[in-house]
């Protein structure tokens, strides 16, 4: 009798269609962007209106996602991502935090505009304490366009977010078949589907609904982060702004930010974070007056080396290491909720 039962159990296990296995529960949190965009014709791949299509229509357009997981949708925002401010970022993070705390939720997909997807992904990487997959996804073409990239990006994102192998890997960005770490991915091309890249490479890839991993991030994130959205009160972060480096700059660009009340300035300098000799005195004075100065670079790849182009130890300045200016702004703003010490801030740039 016992032998018969175990043979039957084995037979059932082997032949049960995968759709009968317990599928993970994935919530798609929609915020807008091109993936929710619509153009006038199928040939409008770059001319369209972002943030038009509601989350249910996004999910219904890719019914195959229901084979991967039990998928439901939430409309958190409906906005083109260039218009997301710290207020919306904090609001979204609180919604994400609420969802990951729900034991019935196994993973999240966040559909988002590509313009500032890297910022939102990095912020969630820093402030959401969970090992559940949080996957940001967007598209470079609206769903109305020929060869729209959104549907397959969404399918891949649900596959990733429903995969137990994605747990604990940090907040992820799923674009153009590649899985990127939130902390080092950036939008490096502003009009093609292979828009997202990382100088340190993708973490993995998704092909036909299966995730293949090739590396993991070495930086603090999510459960290992000292930051937590639950510690942020109100709907604003300490004010930090970016100045873009070029030739023929004006000290007034920085003094105007001081007047606006910034607590730190990220300088997107030329080369390895260089500062013109006629701007240095202004930044030295601002630091002495309590404004943190963070040297980042307008150059996409590499990292800013401390005490190389500028004597950072002497001036009490911070280097952004390999973080681009827009991510340096967010880490500096979060850091300022905990410290005003430049040395402590510098360590955070090496650890996150």
Cross-strand pairs, 110: 29, 136
Determine if 143 is a binding residue for ligand DGL (CB under 6 A).
no
Quick check: is 114 catalytic?
yes
The answer for residues whose C-beta is within 8 angstroms of residue 183's C-beta and 6 or more apart is 122, 125, 170, 217, 219, 221, 323, 327, 352
Footprint of ligand DGL on residues 26-45 (CB under 6 A)?
33-34
Q: Which of 45, 106, 111, 114 binds ligand DGL (CB under 6 A)?
A: 114
Residue 76 or 345: the one with the smaller Cβ distance to ligand DGL is 76
Q: Specify the DSSP class assigned to residue 24.
A: P
Footprint of ligand DGL on residues 42-101 (CB under 6 A)?
50, 80-82
Residue 50 or 182: the one with the smaller Cβ distance to ligand DGL is 50
Q: What is the Cα–Cα distance from 198 to 22, expressed in whole angstroms?
A: 35
CB of 169 closer than 8 Å to CB of 221: no
Determine if 142 is a binding residue for ligand DGL (CB under 6 A).
no
Q: What is the Cα–Cα distance from 174 to 138, expressed in whole angstroms?
A: 8
CB of 265 closer than 8 Å to CB of 240: yes
Token pair for 218: 């070495």
Residue 82 or 230: the one with the smaller Cβ distance to ligand DGL is 82
Token pair for 221: 């994130």
Q: Interacting stretch for ligand DGL, rule CB under 6 A, among 68-76, 136-144, 243-251, 311-319?
A: 136-144
Q: Specify the DSSP class assigned to residue 145.
A: S
For the chain, give the longest Cα–Cα distance: 90
Quick check: is 171 catalytic?
no
Determine if 138 is a binding residue for ligand DGL (CB under 6 A).
yes
Q: Is residue 74 helix, strand or coil?
A: strand
Looking at 13, 19, 31, 34, which residue is catalytic? 34
Q: What is the Cα–Cα distance from 73 to 85, expressed in whole angstroms?
A: 23
φ, ψ at 196 (rounded to 5°): -100, 135
**Closest approach of Cβ 40 to ligand DGL, in Å?**
16
* Binding residues with ligand DGL: total (CB under 6 A): 12
Looking at 111, 114, 211, 270, which residue is catalytic? 114
**Closest approach of Cβ 100 to ligand DGL, in Å?**
24
Residue 61 or 305: the one with the smaller Cβ distance to ligand DGL is 61
Q: Which residues are catalytic?
A: 34, 114
The binding site for ligand DGL (CB under 6 A) comprises 33-34, 50, 80-82, 113-115, 138-140
């Amino acid at each position: 009798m016992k032998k018969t039962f175990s043979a039957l159990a084995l037979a059932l296990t082997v032949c049960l269609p995968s759709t009968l296995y317990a599928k993970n529960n994935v919530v798609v949190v929609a915020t807008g962007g091109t993936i929710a965009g619509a153009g006038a014709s199928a040939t409008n791949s770059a001319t369209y209106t972002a943030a038009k299509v509601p989350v249910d229509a996004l999910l219904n357009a890719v019914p195959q996602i229901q084979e991967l997981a039990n998928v439901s949708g939430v409309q958190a925002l409906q906005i083109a991502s260039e218009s997301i401010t710290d207020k919306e970022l904090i609001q979204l993070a609180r919604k994400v935090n609420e969802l990951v705390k729900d034991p019935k939720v196994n993973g999240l997909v966040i559909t988002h505009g590509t313009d500032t997807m890297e910022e939102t992904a990095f912020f969630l990487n820093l402030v959401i304490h969970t090992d559940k997959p949080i996957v940001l996804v967007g598209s470079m073409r609206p769903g109305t366009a020929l060869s729209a990239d959104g549907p397959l990006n969404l399918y891949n994102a649900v596959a990733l977010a429903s995969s137990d192998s994605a747990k604990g890997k940090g907040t992820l960005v799923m674009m153009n078949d590649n899985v990127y770490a939130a902390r080092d991915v950036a939008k490096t091309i502003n009009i093609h589907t292979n828009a997202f890249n990382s100088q340190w490479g993708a973490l993995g890839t998704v092909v036909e609904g299966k995730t293949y991993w090739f590396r993991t991030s070495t930086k603090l994130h999510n459960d290992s982060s000292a930051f937590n959205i639950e510690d942020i009160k109100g709907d604003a972060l300490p004010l930090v702004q970016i100045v873009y480096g070029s030739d023929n700059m004006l000290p007034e660009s920085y003094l105007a930010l001081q007047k606006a009340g910034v607590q730190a300035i990220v300088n997107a300098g030329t080369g390895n974070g260089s500062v013109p000799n006629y701007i240095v005195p202004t930044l030295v004075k601002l630091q002495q007056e309590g404004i943190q100065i963070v040297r980042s670079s307008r150059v996409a790849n590499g990292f800013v080396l401390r005490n190389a182009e500028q004597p950072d130890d002497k001036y009490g300045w911070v280097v952004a290491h390999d973080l681009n200016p827009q991510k340096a702004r967010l880490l500096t703003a979060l850091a300022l909720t905990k410290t005003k010490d430049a040395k402590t801030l510098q360590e955070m740039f090496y650890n996150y």
